[in-house]
Structure 1
């Protein structure tokens, strides 16, 4: 993860980001130094050791090219010690240039503060202290070892006026470099705040899901006996009231609903097995989707769904995941309930697969969505149903997200109701893939 990390109570850049900002600031420094040296030498007519100075700048440019190649090819391998070495190179180059152009009397000597500032913000305390102490020592060394500059031409106003001009140029360079650095730091902080916000949101959602999973496990354990008792009672009533056709139809409906409940409990057991890395049953994608649709039809006998498999539908073998089945059922249930609550019975489901991505588009005939619900959908528990708990969409969104997919809610293009679009990569579901057990284990 790129960003800023917390160490010793102070926020600092990750090594790759510190190396990146050093590389770009070095570009500015190289151009600024080159222009200044050439202007002083040819514009002011002051004799500078141009050969050695240009050689130093060329070496610094070559080093920066290596730094950019490193950032492009293997950024994950960059360490804090490599960043420290980058700063040491910059400090050494600055010292050499100052030593060849007047030493401590050079107005650009205050540029030592730039690597000190960068080290303080971007590096751990010990390494920042190394840069600070080194800059202090090298500044002191320049007091005794340097090549003096020749006296400026009187037309320039003497040595003091030239020094003032140099200070102004130094200010321009420093201001530019500080602006680049602060802008970059502000951008990193904004991205870090966004990541922290998403992490807090994800943690809250995961805590809710774990709590719901605990309750579901207890409920599954307790529901087995009541469901068996209800099945026995239904069978007895069928035998005792064979002549009552109306009752027989009602008992048939109750029996089908009980079958759905029992199948759901079996799926919970399969989910537990999947969480233990035992895996799920292998089925074709089309069979798995058809089973979900059939279960959904049984749960909502009042609806009149229109289900269409859009061609070409590329079928693949997948490892059946019960948690994913219930996620899709939750979304289908929401659509059915939205239509029924609005006094309608229609739900359209379009299903496509290219072998890599499964897409379900669900159009209901409900009242549509308000903007607030769309904004928070699937991230926080909320509901528009008087008796609802609002957990279905949260669970569905979390499960689909676990497999690398996404759930999108929008108003239906038909002008009435809502559209739910589920895009699910099949890579982690394909039978025999390493991603299947990994995705299950992260539940």
Structure 2
């Protein structure tokens, strides 16, 4: 299967070829018309008209093809150049053959092929041009006024203004201008591609840096979970023993304090478990393919089991299509983190609205908390007291790795709407 040329470059080259084709063939026909009128040349205009109709049809098709989004392979572009060679040869055949001063136009498709196509196709274009030019020596129509020797029958002043001489001058000027213009356009296209390549390389480097940072955070999370697990377990045991030993003292204040301390220790342990799970799923590279509605239903159910004290209103758009998609495990932890943030500031009222189309899902998480902080909140900054913003950083980064994004909006009720736009890797996309 032939390789495909870059979409922007090959389509730009075909568009340029259309302009060159239209300009050069128009110039050739106008030149023949002017010469026919001034020098009383007898040209087969009915045959020329038929060739012109074919040229116009080819030009329209090439322009249509250049604006299509489907890729163009080197053989296809070679076919357009070959059409130029054939149609140009047909025009030359009825307008003097090799005596036509525009015969040097054969160099234009060869130049275009040399720049725009791989070497084998460029050589094929050159060979076809040479064969067509050679054939005109034997099959070209005879137009005596165009022959170089015709100037020998004229005086000196007339020789200087002979039709062939003027035609050769005009041909050199037009061919040079066309080649210069095309090469300039090609150079500009190459410069644009280089800029796009540099931008893509910079984006790729930034993505690798973020992935390294995420891996470092995941490693740190696993290490922190291990290091803090033992001290928390020890503290839990001590608090439980103190609670048992002071149960008969009827010291209500101390009992309440020990209960609060035990609750905070349990919360720390739960947080470490969630952090450990996040680090574990982040390291996994595979995903699970299942119906989109089932995935979101299970995601919300699992989260509500972790936070049963939260009043949750969950709605999935019934008009969303019944499709399957693959979800990376890290996405679950990211969405759970957004739900945790909403529950922390508004445990009595958290609303989740989810809808999806064929290629993207929209998840709205709405709380009734204090709303957005004044000013622009940067990535990784937390609005919660004592928060480090690590969860938000991980959420943004993981969503970004999968083509998604999260945006925060204020609501009229004073709370916050966190909107997640997540591209869906559907089965059709995977098979393509």
Pick the TM interval, shorter chain: 0.5 to 0.7
Q: Using structure 1 for the length normalisation, give the TM-score.
A: 0.64
The answer (yes or no) to whether the contact 2:407–2:419 under 8 Å persists in 1 is yes
- How far apart are 1:333 and its partner, in Å? 7.7
In structure 2, the residue matched to 1:48 is: 43
Alignment-derived partner of residue 19 in structure 2:
28
**What is the aligned counterpart of 1:111 among 105, 110, 114?**
105
How do 1:74-89 residues align onto structure 2 when only pairs under 5 Å count? 75-76=70-71, 78-89=72-83
Superposed CA RMSD in Å reads: 5.3
**Correspondence for 2:331 among 324, 327, 339:** 324
Other structure's SS at 1:83 match:
helix
Equivalent position of 2:421 in the other structure: 423
- Consecutive unaligned residues of structure 1, counting only runs of 5 or more, are 6-12, 299-304, 340-344, 439-443
Deviates more, 1:20-29 or 1:167-176: 167-176
Aligned CA distance change for structure 1 residues 114 and 22 (closer, same or farther; 3 Å): same
Residue 202 of structure 1 is matched in structure 2 by 207
Number of equivalences: 394
Post-superposition CA distance 1:346-385 (Å, at most 9, x none): 9997643235521236774434227xx5xxx5xxxx7699
Match in the other structure for 1:249: 260
Matched, 1:366 2:366: no
Q: Could you say which residue in structure 2 is the equivalent of 1:151? A: 145
For residues 93-142 of structure 1, the C-alpha deviation after alignment (integer angstroms, 9 at most, x for no partner) is 33443454345554434433432333233222343344345545655666
5+ long unaligned stretches in structure 2: 147-153
Give per-residue Cα distances to partners, 1:265-303, cap 9 Å, x unaligned: 35655666x6455789997746744865896899xxxxx
Q: Matched residue of 1:423: which SS? A: strand
Please give the per-residue CA displacement for 1:309-361, whole angstroms capped at 9, x wherever unaligned: 59786599999975224324555788999x9xxxxx99997643235521236
* Structure 1 equivalent of residue 150 of structure 2: none
Secondary structure of residue in 2 paired with 1:323: helix
| Higher mean C-alpha deviation, range 259-268 or range 67-76 | 67-76
Change (3 A) 1:205 1:39: same
Distance 2:235 2:290 in 1: 29
Check the 8 A contact 1:350/1:360 in 2, yes or no: yes
Q: How does 1:235-384 map to 2 (within 5 A)?
A: 235-242=240-247, 243=251, 244=254, 245-266=256-277, 275=285, 285=296, 288-289=299-300, 323-328=330-335, 351-354=352-355, 356=357, 357-360=362-365, 364-369=371-376, 377=379
Offset of residue 220 of structure 1: 5.0
Displacement of 1:187: 4.7
- CA drift of 1:72 comes to 7.4
C-alpha displacement of 1:255: 1.9
Q: Distance in 2 between matches of 1:353 and 1:124?
A: 50
CA contact (8 A) 2:236 2:262 kept: no
When residues 270 and 369 of structure 1 are mapped into structure 2, their CA distance, relative to the original with a 3 A threshold, is: closer
